[in-house]
Amino acid sequence: MRELILMRHAAALAAPAGASDFERPLSELGRLEAAQAAQRLAGTAAIGRILFSPARRTSETAQIIAGELALAAQALVAMPALYVATAAVIRAAVAHNHGGANVVLIIGHNPGISEFGCELAGLGFHAQLPTAGFWRRSLGAQAWQALIDEAGPENK
């Protein structure tokens, strides 16, 4: 059994006028949210891989979680394609970069991270993850293979 955990980054500061959205850091609340999310994740099976957008707020969220869970640096993989990615791009990232891990945490941005969660859950509507919110989805061998197959042959 494999597990995907889809998480939205923690709360970030607003971008100052003329500043890049990509460089927005976590706020004090965001750092607290990330630490609390790590505490909730600590009771799960060991996370073997964290895939995350390299945007500053997402990277900081991943670093806090990895630190709180004492994950090795090799478990963290920054993926430029995950910055404001669609559900299809996230699916392909998981399929191609899971590294054989049984539990993969993906930290990204709305709307894509929430759209992918809704697809996996088979929801007929679109729900939004709050900052530092996450969805967990267990996938049996057939469901995992379907995820890989849906990502396309180049990701097998």
148 is in which domain, residue-wise?
2-11+23-155
Q: Cβ contacts of residue 117 below 8 Å, gap of 6+?
A: 6, 127, 129, 135, 137
- pLDDT tens digits for 20-38? 999 999 999 999 999 999 9
Any domain includes 136: yes
**Nearest to residue 112, comparing CAs of 53, 38, 36?**
53
Residue 18 lies in a domain: no
Domain-embedded: residue 67: yes
Q: Please report whether residue 53 resides in a domain.
A: yes
Q: How confident is the model at residue 154 (pLDDT cuts 50, 70, 90)?
A: low
Please give the C-alpha separations between residue 98 and each of 18, 49, 106, 121, 140, in angstroms, as whole numbers.
36, 7, 10, 19, 15
Task: Record the tokens describing residue 90, joined without a space.
Answer: 């996230």
Structural domain total, the chain? 1
pLDDT digits (tens, 9 = 90+) for 78-107: 999 999 999 999 999 999 999 999 999 999
Does 16 fall in a domain?
no
Peptide bond between residue 54 and the one before it cis (omega within 30 degrees of 0): no
Instruction: Report phi then psi at 148, rounded to 5.
Output: -65, -45
Which CATH number goes with the domain that contains 52? 3.40.50.1240
What is the predicted pLDDT for the residue at 125?
A: 72
Residue 90 belongs to some domain of the structure: yes
Instruction: Give me the mean pLDDT over the 121-146 stretch.
Output: 90
Six-digit token pair at 152? 């396309």
Question: Is 17 inside any structural domain?
Answer: no
